[in-house]
Structure 1
Amino acid sequence: MAWFRNLSRFSTINVSRRHDPFLLSSFNCFSSNNINTNPTIEKPSVDPVQYSGLGPTKPHEKPRVVVLGSGWAGCRLMKGLDPEIYDIVCVSPRNHMVFTPLLASTCVGTLEFRSVAEPIARIQPAISREPGSYFFLSNCTGISADKHMVHCETVTEGEQALDPWSFTVSYDKLVIALGAQPTTFGIRGVKEHAIFLREVHHAQEIRRKLLLNLMLSDVPGISEEEKRRLLHCVVVGGGPTGVEFSGELSDFIMRDVRQRYAHVKDYVHVTLIEANEILSSFDVRLRNYATKQLTKSGVRLVRGTVKDVQDQNIILNDGSEVPYGLLVWSTGVGPSPLIHALDLPKAPGGGRIGVDEWLRVPSVQDIFSIGDCSGFVESTGRQTLPALAQVAEREGKYLAHLLNKIGKAGGGRANSGKDIDFGEPFVYKHLGSMASVGSYKALVDLRQSKETKGISLAGFISWFIWRSAYLTRVVSWRNRIYVAINWATTLVFGRDISRI
């Protein structure tokens, strides 16, 4: 496993294991403090309260930047950091970055899953090449700011998974880029019955569920009512993710399902539920166009609020029941429990980590925060930026430049950057918004804000711009080629309907 190989490279390790004596003796083999040359000893003496970890950097070593998270913000930061100045350590429960704007396309087979996943080692090669740089497949469980230390626990899964291994990582500079989690608004049953659309495994689960329902509905003896329920796909949330998924799903139904599942084609329906207006951040004209286009594609738009989610039904605020076979939840994001629990300054409203104009966390040394988990503190007079990929990417790019500047000026070590001029603060300029609505149609809104005027387009040309823009934004040339080939294959041969 990746975390096992990385732990074996630690320069100084004090080992402990809670439940597994075999792993206990295995990790002890790599310890510089407890070297045992006698292979007959099976149970070495170990302090049960100590944890292994990366200790503070030494004077002859490069300063260490620890990055928590592998989303848009964290990966753009790591890409821009100079490995000649810093050792880079990434702690994340996934070893890749997800290109989220194209994630909805993987649910119905327009794109393959690996086309939207970029390995971290390709984004920053130093992590797999430099002796002091690492990636740990782990969750952050806490931060000791006074000790410049991060507490971590490995991610394990499967029926025969190992017990989680706890360890610590000391840092000179810490960047918190833990993103956000889907918001459920405390509605009962959402986590148990709905599927979110934030990660690749979410898209895989949606695809398996969708194809399973299609095949089950074709089995003899299934009642008409049960067929309609199984083939009713409900999307909650009318933001860009919900609208794009609804558009992809309607395309899949019209171009593939009706050809390959002819017996049940008249039972397949898509319903999009939104409490207010869909695509509320877009221009009014574009919102109206999206509404007409989705309705024309067979998507039923329902304005309402979900009150309760049951195993096979959704209860709306007006008391009506909506049966479903597939439920996708896309109602926005909010801070994770860890972000709430960290003893760090918070931005007004929402519980995000508070930062100043240079993305530093005030009142603590050497901690920065970027992406969806951060927002400006009240003293800056700035509003918290929206949870968008382009915001996170721009913050990551800015902070990488700032940290490189600090390192070159001799401030890379812990507690050593106080007197360095940070230069210009971070300023975000919105570049516009785009969304696909299916049937080779899309929306392009290039206004900088709701109040300003600007270019707004809709239709086939916008769809071409949407695809071209995202193709150029895919991180690596490898994945750009994958995406282009997937699009061409889907256009010629249709979407793959294999349930794997």
Structure 2
Amino acid sequence: MDCFGVKLCFCLLLTSAIFASAARNTIPLSGDKVVLAAEGRSLMASIEDYSEPTANRGHDPPSRTRGRSGKNGGGRRATRPKSPITTNLLLTSLSHFSTANQTPAVAQPSGLGPTKPNEKPRVVVLGSGWAGCRLMKGLDPNLYDIVCVSPRNHMVFTPLLASTCVGTLEFRSVAEPIARIQPSISSAPGSYFFLANCTGVDTETNEVQCETITAGTDALDPWKFRISYDKLVIASGAEASTFGIHGVKEHATFLREVHHAQEIRRKLLLNLMLSDVPGVSEEEKRRLLHCVVVGGGPTGVEFSGELSDFIRRDVHQRYTHVKDFIHVTLIEASEILSSFDDRLRRYAIKQLTKSGVRLVRGIVKDVKPQNLILSDGSEVPYGLLVWSTGVGPSPFVNSLGLPKSPGGRIGIDEWLRVPSVQDVFSIGDCSGFLESTGKPVLPALAQVAERQGKYLANLLNNISKAGGGHANSAKNIDFGDPFEYKHLGSMATVGRFKALVDLRQSKEAKGISLAGFVSWFIWRSAYLTRVVSWRNRFYVAINWLTTFVFGRDISRI
């Protein structure tokens, strides 16, 4: 008999045994095991309280004598009482065995429905950046249920992100879990964090459509769900601006997320090790070890400074065979650090040049796998290309049917509301003042986003206290003073023990500007105190001390 015939006979015998067992009238099963024998083979199925009558609930299950005394004494173990199994239950079990390898049924659409008048209103926050996390930190969980939808479960402390690329800091030192920023997210019954992307906003029904984030070959397939909101805050941030240049997304690496820094570090260390392999030509070594940074803003300058210090202090000691081939080029279309004082910009140029960074003024026209082409036709070969030319609206923001401010951001009024719809606010890099407000579009800075989040948290708390927390209930409530932004200054590092501090409120205003070691000490002290939790402050301080004493960690993990 072939294998199929054996299996068929086994199934028929097993089915007969099942119906015979179902016909018996004995003690109900409660947490026990049933052994079905057929052709010398047994099937062990563990069943938990499926057919336990109501009268038996809360009582102990039938006794399971494990000793060697009593009725079944004499050295023989007691026999467990047999129990009946309902036909439907066993047929369901068989169905489970026969369909184990089939595709599971698709779940019905689900989500969070509208809140009731006697329940706390729900604030839905899209994003977990500076603006969204500062908002959630300031919201009163006694007034609102807080729901966050984001593709990451942490906030990135972006001012220190460049330091993680070369091992000055560890990656977890700049990542702050959302549950630590707002504990109610993981503890309050009506507050949640969903690892998902928002795919649409329906302002007519006060709903957002979401799709889960999954990764890896063993992950669940993404599914969609809806969330009803009483107040919606769009703080989804922006994405790196490529200006439509061909090849940027395919070949360049951005520096906005932790995984970007991880990718830069792995590629940098990989190129260092590959260039040391016998048989690699000198020309190929120069290409592999040529690090090109496009964008002369604070991110590009700080990364160039960290990279040059890494080369001088660590590469020269641990990769002596290729130390003469590695170099850094910073490409900027106009002036580096254009928002800083002229004296500080000249100091930055001097320090970067002194540390070995080559400064090139030019416009990138095309990016290829191993080189980029400038507007004058010159080619620049590279082994690592980091793109930091600013930010622009994300595809999600572009897809929303909401008014837009200059530059394509979501248009907001003086109270950070989207004026054409009810109960919708927007903060951070994805938003900008409408022209009708007479206010300029604020720069995409962490301090702007953080202060908008703090202001909006206080505003929403006051709205709820005034009885306007639920949807469409805040029409006659005084919102108080509008949002006003006051620039506190700018800081940037330009290498080892060197930094810039510009405390002017604007480029045209007068104020204090410092450069050198004192500025570097101010920069480190300021950002150490701005790290969200004491845990991460401790990590950052320990990482800085470890790097200073033992050097950077160059492990490629």
TM-score over 0.5 (shorter chain): yes
Letter aligned with residue 71 of structure 1: G
Counterpart CA distance in 1 for 2:173 and 2:428 is 23
Q: Aligned pairs, how many? A: 461
Counterpart CA distance in 1 for 2:488 and 2:117 is 43
Counterpart CA distance in 2 for 1:130 and 1:49 is 26
Q: Which residue among 170, 183, 187 is the counterpart of 2:245? A: 187
Q: What is the CA distance between 1:50 and its match in structure 2? A: 5.0
Q: What is the CA distance between 1:159 and its match in structure 2? A: 2.1
Query: Deviations along 1:210-231, whole A, 9 cap, x unmatched?
Result: 0000000000000000000000
Which residue number in structure 1 is paired with residue 10 of structure 2? Answer: none
Which residue number in structure 2 is paired with residue 235 of structure 1? Answer: 293
Q: What is the correspondence of 1:268-279 to structure 2 with a 5 Å cutoff?
A: 268-279=326-337
Counterpart CA distance in 2 for 1:463 and 1:215 is 32
Letter aligned with residue 212 of structure 2: T
Which residue number in structure 2 is paired with residue 10 of structure 1? Answer: none
In the alignment, is residue 392 of structure 1 matched against residue 443 of structure 2?
A: no
Which residue number in structure 2 is paired with residue 177 of structure 1? Answer: 235
In the alignment, is residue 427 of structure 1 matched against residue 459 of structure 2?
A: no
Counterpart CA distance in 2 for 1:159 and 1:87 is 34
Which residue number in structure 1 is paired with residue 5 of structure 2? Answer: none
Which residue number in structure 1 is paired with residue 174 of structure 2? Answer: 116
Q: What is the CA distance between 1:434 and its match in structure 2? A: 0.2
SS at match of 1:66: strand
Q: What is the correspondence of 1:276-287 to structure 2 with a 5 Å cutoff?
A: 276-287=334-345
Q: What is the CA distance between 1:47 and its match in structure 2? A: 11
Larger radius of gyration: 2
Q: Which residue among 293, 310, 313 is the counterpart of 2:368? A: 310
Which residue number in structure 2 is paired with residue 24 of structure 1? Answer: none
Q: What is the CA distance between 1:480 and its match in structure 2? A: 0.2
Query: Deviations along 1:164-207, whole A, 9 cap, x unmatched?
Result: 11000000000000000000001000001000000000000000
Q: Which residue among 208, 212, 225 is the counterpart of 2:266? A: 208
Greater relative CO, 1 or 2 (CA 8 Å, sep 6+): 1
Q: What is the correspondence of 1:74-93 to structure 2 with a 5 Å cutoff?
A: 74-93=132-151
Unaligned runs of 5+ in 2: 1-87
SS at match of 1:146: coil
Counterpart CA distance in 1 for 2:138 and 2:113 is 25
Counterpart CA distance in 1 for 2:399 and 2:524 is 40
Which residue number in structure 1 is paired with residue 218 of structure 2? Answer: 160
Unaligned runs of 5+ in 1: 1-36
TM-score (norm 2): 0.82
Which residue number in structure 2 is paired with residue 485 of structure 1? Answer: 542
Contact 2:117 2:470 in 1 (8 A): no
Query: Deviations along 1:128-158, whole A, 9 cap, x unmatched?
Result: 0000000000000000001000000000011
Q: What is the CA distance between 1:110 and its match in structure 2? A: 0.1
Q: Which residue among 123, 136, 142 is the counterpart of 2:194? A: 136
SS at match of 2:147: strand
TM-score (norm 1): 0.91
Letter aligned with residue 423 of structure 2: D
Which residue number in structure 1 is paired with residue 115 of structure 2? Answer: 57
Query: Deviations along 1:55-79, whole A, 9 cap, x unmatched?
Result: 0012232100000000000000000
Q: What is the CA distance between 1:355 and its match in structure 2? A: 0.5
Counterpart CA distance in 1 for 2:426 and 2:286 is 47
Contact 1:65 1:89 in 2 (8 A): yes
Contact 1:91 1:140 in 2 (8 A): yes
Counterpart CA distance in 2 for 1:197 and 1:342 is 26
Counterpart CA distance in 2 for 1:332 and 1:137 is 26
Contact 2:164 2:170 in 1 (8 A): yes
Which residue number in structure 1 is paired with residue 497 of structure 2? Answer: 440
Contact 2:271 2:289 in 1 (8 A): yes
Q: What is the correspondence of 1:443-482 to structure 2 with a 5 Å cutoff?
A: 443-482=500-539
Letter aligned with residue 210 of structure 1: L
| Aligned-residue identity in percent | 82
Which residue number in structure 1 is paired with residue 52 of structure 2? Answer: none
Letter aligned with residue 392 of structure 1: A
Which residue number in structure 2 is paired with residue 377 of structure 1? Answer: 434
Counterpart CA distance in 2 for 1:98 and 1:324 is 28
Which residue number in structure 2 is paired with residue 362 of structure 1? Answer: 419
In the alignment, is residue 97 of structure 1 matched against residue 188 of structure 2?
A: no
Which residue number in structure 2 is paired with residue 17 of structure 1? Answer: none
